[in-house]
Structure 1
Amino acid sequence: MNKTDRMLAIVMELQRYGMRRAEDLAAQFETSVRTIYRDVQALSEAGVPIVGAPGMGYSLMEGYFLPPISFTAEEAVALLVGADFVHMLLDAEYGAKAHHAQQKIEAILTKPVQEEASRVRSAIRLLHERMAGTTVLEKERLEPLRHAILQKHSVHFHYSKSLTEPEDSRHSVRTVDPYGLVFTQAAWMLVAFCHERQAIRYFRLSRMRELMVLEQTFEIQPGFDLHARKVMDDRDIVVRMRFDASAGEHVQETGNFYMESLEPDESGWLATLRVRRIEELLQWTLSWGAAVEVLEPESLRERLREEIKKMQKRY
């Protein structure tokens, strides 16, 4: 942290906490107490009204605020919770930036707004719904991919397709030009120009292995617009099933990645799902036992019958 950034951070710390000792500031900014003394002197000479109390520390003169920004409690909560989302969904680098942003926002809030924002925020809790292991893998790949996108460097990786794909086509090695990152259907995906396919493709970060950023650079294809582009969705098999009324509430609570709707009807709950291959729903459907009936497609019904016969032979 350079001197200018450190001096601004000192002002924000004093504004946020009211009183801070030089020793505490030195430990926080990983510098010497003497350097903090010089920074405080420079701030005072620049017109920042810092008051020193022997044995207690430094504080800002009452009524001084930097920068002159005011937020309502609702606006502050929106920004603070938004930073929580960034910390949850992006990599460690942006997680740290989000934390620093939260500190800066809290530092410029007046005491009443800070207390109200804290009260509202204490009633909101964000929980990540996906497996922690998957999230860790994605976060590890987000940072190098972000840098590759910004610096326009090609990347190389091993890619694993869905387990429902045929064994001989399940794994591949790809070299791509990364264009952007998309968070959709509870997963991070890379939008990239694939050298092998000579076309733009989508790749799940959770299925990448041995990711390498190459020295080779690229230029984005003319006319490409990440925000205008429709995210590819090749789930073209529609599945309908009916759950017993007693199971409906539990289905709502647990949900399913492929589920598009769950609505009550006269016999229970009617669910509509879309998948690429019927095997993607096989084990999940079996887990509900007699509480579910697959209405269509017939191919899934037949696949369930085959699996149940195999289970009968075991038991």
Structure 2
Amino acid sequence: MNDHYLKKLDRVTAILTQLQSKSVVRAQDLAEKFDVSIRTIYRDVKTLENAGIPIIGEAGNGYSLMDGYKLPPVMFTKEEVLSFITAEKLMQKFSHQSLGNHYQTAMEKVRSVLRHSDKNLIQNIEKQIDVFNFHTQPGDSLKNVIPIILESIEEKTQLNIEYQTVDSRVTIRIIETVGVFFEFNFWYIMAYCTLRNDFRQFRIDRILKISKTQTPFLQEYGQINDYRKRSNENKVIARLLVDKKIMAHLVNSKRYYGLIQEEETPQGVELTFETEWINDGFPRWVVTFADYATILEPESLRTRLNELLLKMTERHQ
């Protein structure tokens, strides 16, 4: 069997996997994924149909498997099995606890279809991989919050939440959830808030109560990244000139606080940040290495830093 037919066999098998994992698969998407022409995808789909696979659809509309059609368990490569182990370790550390049990049962189903040799591989390797989390996990008051949020997105119905703000005030909000995301060790909701008539981010561990309503969304929403970019418009640009000798101590924290650019100069390292914590979190971080840093902008950051230093001096005199 020559190389051309081996590549076709691999591609046809991969297309079958795509059909198993998605409700509708477009020929154009498959062509881009496998870097071939759309005409080649048409021929590959015809090959599957000739092999007895019941594919519904046609060129231009997308393809899907006939509902109820069952295929034998998928066989995984050794590299794919190893990737499952690594992914499982990451999920154990960084997934929200409301997703943990669901992911665990899903992985048990995946393991159940593995070959005996692959099960032994997992057993031998999984104890050799670990992920050390730099930050402690927040203690959420609700245990099943993300599944409820995702259900509201799928059903396009509003959520009623009782939310505790950063200054410990509790408010009641009706929100329409666009999506959820993980950033700086916390899970967040990006949602349209009917109280503010605008888009807001809500930290999930600050939700005290949550319930679904029967009220449909007032509008259609796009992808979450569209609204994340919009929320970044509220961030402030801050620039620092930092002594090179202290940079090794800022390796992790500088990205946590929104580093977007780093440039070495004869005077030191110029760091540019994009932050929404310009009045509190960011200046308090700068205090920790203020003797090695010069604030280039904004002036309000310099003023706030001086206020903090003055309070510290008065408290410890």
Query: What is the TM-score with the length of structure 1 in the denominator?
Result: 0.63
Q: Distance in 1 between matches of 2:114 and 2:213?
A: 45
Distance 1:313 1:186, change over 3 A: closer
1:105 paired residue number: 110
Shifted more, 282-291 versus 146-155: the winner is: 146-155
1:71 paired residue number: 76
Distance 1:253 1:225, change over 3 A: closer
2:158 paired residue number: 154
1:57 paired residue number: none
Corresponding pairs, count: 242
Deviation per CA, 1:229-263: give whole Å up to 9, x if none.
34122443111113332321111044452222445
For the Cα contact (< 8 Å) 1:87–1:94, is it kept in 2? Answer: no
Distance 1:158 1:303, change over 3 A: same
Structure 1 segment 264-279 matched on structure 2, within 5 A: 264-276=264-276, 277-279=278-280
Letter in 1 for 2:295: V
2:219 paired residue number: 221
Deviation at 1:213? 0.7
For the Cα contact (< 8 Å) 1:138–1:188, is it kept in 2? Answer: no
2:257 paired residue number: 258
For the Cα contact (< 8 Å) 1:264–1:270, is it kept in 2? Answer: yes
Distance 1:119 1:233, change over 3 A: farther
Q: Distance in 2 between matches of 1:259 and 1:227?
A: 19
1:144 paired residue number: 148
Please say if 1:282 is aligned against 2:283: yes
For the Cα contact (< 8 Å) 1:189–1:202, is it kept in 2? Answer: yes
Q: Distance in 1 between matches of 2:224 and 2:238?
A: 30
Higher-Rg structure is: 1
Q: Distance in 2 between matches of 1:180 and 1:148?
A: 10
Percent identical among aligned pairs is: 21
Deviation per CA, 1:132-181: give whole Å up to 9, x if none.
225x4575532332344344443223334445xxx9xx664312233432
For the Cα contact (< 8 Å) 2:85–2:122, is it kept in 1? Answer: no
Q: Distance in 1 between matches of 2:129 and 2:274?
A: 32
Q: Distance in 2 between matches of 1:256 and 1:184?
A: 11
Q: Distance in 2 between matches of 1:297 and 1:138?
A: 39
For the Cα contact (< 8 Å) 1:88–1:95, is it kept in 2? Answer: no
Distance 1:100 1:309, change over 3 A: closer
Distance 1:193 1:310, change over 3 A: closer
Letter in 1 for 2:132: L
Q: Distance in 2 between matches of 1:285 and 1:295?
A: 13
2:173 paired residue number: 174
Q: Distance in 2 between matches of 1:98 and 1:302?
A: 48
Cα RMSD after superposing both structures: 3.3
Q: Distance in 2 between matches of 1:290 and 1:118?
A: 51
Deviation at 1:75? 0.8
Letter in 2 for 1:282: P
Distance 1:265 1:102, change over 3 A: farther
Letter in 1 for 2:187: W
1:249 paired residue number: 248
| Unaligned segments of structure 2, at least 5 residues | 1-70
Query: What is the TM-score with the length of structure 2 in the denominator?
Result: 0.62
For the Cα contact (< 8 Å) 2:158–2:217, is it kept in 1? Answer: no
For the Cα contact (< 8 Å) 1:90–1:139, is it kept in 2? Answer: no
Distance 1:265 1:147, change over 3 A: same
For the Cα contact (< 8 Å) 1:176–1:193, is it kept in 2? Answer: yes
| Unaligned segments of structure 1, at least 5 residues | 1-65
For the Cα contact (< 8 Å) 1:87–1:98, is it kept in 2? Answer: no
2:311 paired residue number: 310
Q: Distance in 2 between matches of 1:137 and 1:147?
A: 19
